[in-house]
Chain A
Amino acid sequence: MTGQEIVFTLLGVVAVGSAVMVVTTRQLVHAALWLVVSFGALAGGYLVLTAEFVAWVQVLIYVGAVVVLLLFGIMLTRAPIGPVPRSGEDDPLDSGNRWAALAVAVATAAVLITVLVMGFRDSRIRLEAGGGGAEPLGGSLFRTWVLPFEVLSVLLLAALVGAIVLSRTDIGAEDDEPGTDIPARTGGPAPDGGARVGGAKTGAGTDTGGRTGSGGSKGGGAKVDHSAEIAGAETDVKGGDGKAGAAEGSRGGADGARGREEGGG
């Protein structure tokens, strides 16, 4: 084994080990941090394979943006982000889908490994410095693989549009709007306070419904309550003088797309 191979193997061990930690740790935020280690080790692996452009893009996008957004999501929602006790029935981290998820993960890994082994069994690629720079990568991406690249772009665009559609409640079917039942579930402060400041109980109520509903369709209604509260508390600090009203409801919904950012502040 050469030095490179040893480093590569070690990086692989770190990546797999920290990936296992991601799914076994009892702290959601620590899980995200282990994911950072895993992605970082992966980037190191790319570096050893002389693919430095891919390596830095891995750090920039996966470590720098994806996991930060993940942390962001964990902290803004009512996900259990304190240490969670190991208890049987009502363990918040226990999922009924555990075995299904394991099966899917193993199957995916098996398919990938099979494809790699079958495809590259006998081939050896000679690594040379600069072979993984931006120029060769761009060349092969936009000459040889331009069609898959474009298809992927369309897929990402579809995902983007889908996210916007899901987070907006002012478009789509009318009966989707859970305008009345959600505020009751979010707890007392929301509708009461809104009405007190706004002076228009129905208007404020609809508004809350719109926003919470927008989150609810994003996935897991209970998750977004906190974000709505934070955003609400923040705007309250900034001093609204109570121009609420029914029109506000649609605005709250329309802002759903921005909800992630605004929830933070």
Chain B
Amino acid sequence: MSVPLAAPDPTLQSFGQDPWWLIGGKVLAIFVFLVLTVLLSMWVERRIIGRMQLRVGPNRAGPFGLLQGLADGVKLALKEDIVPRQVDKVVFVLAPVVSAVPAFVSFIIIPFGPTVSIFGHQTPLQGTDLPVAVLLVLAMASMGAYGIVLAGWSSMSPYSLLGGLRSAAQIISYEIAMGLSFVAVFLFAGTMSTTGIVNAQADRWFAVMLLPSFLVYVVTMMGESNRIPFDLPEGEGELVGGFHTEYSSLKFAMFFLAEYINLATLSALATTLFLGGWRAPAPISTVWEGANSGWWPVLWFLAKLWLFIFFFVWLRGSLPRVRYDQLMKLGWKILMPFSLGWILLVATIRGLRNEGHDMTQVAIWAAVVIGAVLLLSIAWDLVGRGRGDGGEIVPDLDGGAAPEAAGGFPVPPLDAPHYHGVAREGADVTAHKEVASGSH
């Protein structure tokens, strides 16, 4: 409210005019915001999960245990940094960095608010914006997959390798469905820049208008974040710790950091693309004119962001882990065809509207088409159930049974070539040093 209402909503042209100190300040603010969000969301998660499980949760460090995240961070940093003897050192050290850096980068295009005045400069509350901003987020998400897959490979451990591979397959699969869920948003917003998308939701949120896309995004969001119910890459019942089994101390902390930043990024992206970004929810903005100007929108943005983070935690408290083939089936056989069909429908409606057809008639026909598809799928399901192959667990008993040496217990394959190496002369990757570094 401190700014006159004349300040217009930012567009793509509002960027690139900041002085250097403002750019540096924005980047620093986003960095600090992300670190604080991570520390806080760790505490929030443990407290909420505690409540859900009728426990107290961490309440010792600081008021209400608020400093628990900080304490955990310090503890991790002071732990011994173990580098296993046979790892590929360069990649082993690089992997956590590759995992954490893209997570930070993608937050630069998230709009926190409209144009505000900072020390006399009119500037949008957003790091920067690109004509293809959302693509940047997708690209950074896929870069983050490298951290995980390389961590899995360089650890030279079967558990890590399997975790890394699972994660790579999962992230790539779900990224396709995620990208498809964005297409409808792009079609309606007419742009890929996040400011443009937020501006396009001035009247109605895309979560309302494009509900199927929103639902698909929420599911793929779970898949991308490697969290329950899709946390197969680190399923501790099967893979010890998954890709980070061999990591400790700060390197492990960086994976942890990356996971929680990704959580925040995915939530912020969902807020921006589907829940109107920093725009106030309908009852507030209709009653109060100033809700969408000045610094107030930061509040709405944060509220929506934390709503999503709470949703993540809630799911973690309620859902069991799915099986890997179910995960893949959901991604490839349900989400993707569904998204493609939905995009077809949305594009048709958009095209008809551009041609100037009567929208009520188009809406009726769209409803008819959706109904027909639903009926068909139900009929298909009924017929399919008759055949008795719907979702039944049929164990694969091919070739993968336990080796005799393990006494019949199921163990992962222990003879992958790089575990014992192909005549290991290349001493550069196998330096014989027990403990590389450590604080105590």
Which residues of chain A have a CB within 8 Å of any CB of chain B?
26-27, 29-30, 33, 36, 52-53, 56-57, 59-60, 63-65, 68-69, 71-72, 75-76, 78, 80-85, 92, 130, 133-134, 183, 186, 188-194, 196-198, 203-204, 207-208, 210-212, 226, 228-244, 248, 251-252, 255, 258, 260-265
Interface pair B404/A56, CB less than 8 Å apart:
no
The 18 listed contacts between A and B (C-beta, < 8 Å) are: A27-B429, A52-B131, A59-B139, A68-B142, A71-B150, A72-B168, A75-B153, A189-B402, A194-B398, A210-B398, A212-B399, A229-B413, A230-B413, A232-B396, A232-B398, A251-B394, A258-B325, A258-B332
Interface pair B424/A82, CB less than 8 Å apart:
yes
Interface pair B425/A83, CB less than 8 Å apart:
yes
Residues of chain A lying within 8 A (CB to CB) of residue B430: 83
Interface pair B398/A207, CB less than 8 Å apart:
yes
Interface pair A134/B410, CB less than 8 Å apart:
no
Min CB distance, A168 to chain B, in Å? 15
Residues of chain A lying within 8 A (CB to CB) of residue B417: 78, 80-82
Known contacts A52-B130, A229-B413, A233-B400, A60 near B135 by CB under 8 Å? yes
The answer, yes or no, to whether B172 is at the interface (CB within 8 Å) is yes
Chain B, 393-440, CB within 8 A of any chain A CB: 394-404, 408, 410-413, 416-418, 421-426, 428-430
Shortest Cβ distance from A65 into B: residue: B172
CA distance A102 to B78 in the complex (A): 52
Interface size on B, residues (CB 8 A): 64
Shortest Cβ distance from A64 into B: residue: B142
Min CB distance, A190 to chain B, in Å? 3
Interface pair B169/A72, CB less than 8 Å apart:
yes
Stretch at the interface among B39-47, B158-166, B380-388: B158-166
List 8 A-B pairs, minimum CB-CB distance, nearest first.
A232-B400, A240-B395, A193-B401, A64-B142, A83-B426, A190-B399, A265-B324, A264-B165
Chain B, 100-149, CB within 8 A of any chain A CB: 130-132, 135-136, 138-139, 141-143, 145-146, 149
CA distance A89 to B93 in the complex (A): 34
The answer, yes or no, to whether B238 is at the interface (CB within 8 Å) is yes
CA distance A75 to B417 in the complex (A): 10
Which residues of chain B have a CB within 8 Å of any CB of chain A?
88, 91, 130-132, 135-136, 138-139, 141-143, 145-146, 149-150, 152-153, 161-162, 164-166, 168-169, 172-173, 175, 192, 232, 238, 323-325, 328, 332, 394-404, 408, 410-413, 416-418, 421-426, 428-430
Interface pair A193/B131, CB less than 8 Å apart:
no
Interface pair B399/A228, CB less than 8 Å apart:
yes
Set A78, A82, A203, A233: member contacting B411, Cβ < 8 A: A233
Interface pair B413/A233, CB less than 8 Å apart:
yes
Residues of chain A lying within 8 A (CB to CB) of residue B238: 234, 237
Interface pair A65/B400, CB less than 8 Å apart:
no
Set A196, A229, A255: member contacting B400, Cβ < 8 A: A229
Set A52, A189, A212, A240: member contacting B397, Cβ < 8 A: A240
Shortest Cβ distance from A196 into B: residue: B401
Residues of chain A lying within 8 A (CB to CB) of residue B328: 258, 261-262
CA distance A219 to B356 in the complex (A): 53
CA distance A261 to B332 in the complex (A): 10
Min CB distance, B270 to chain A, in Å? 19
CA distance A194 to B135 in the complex (A): 46
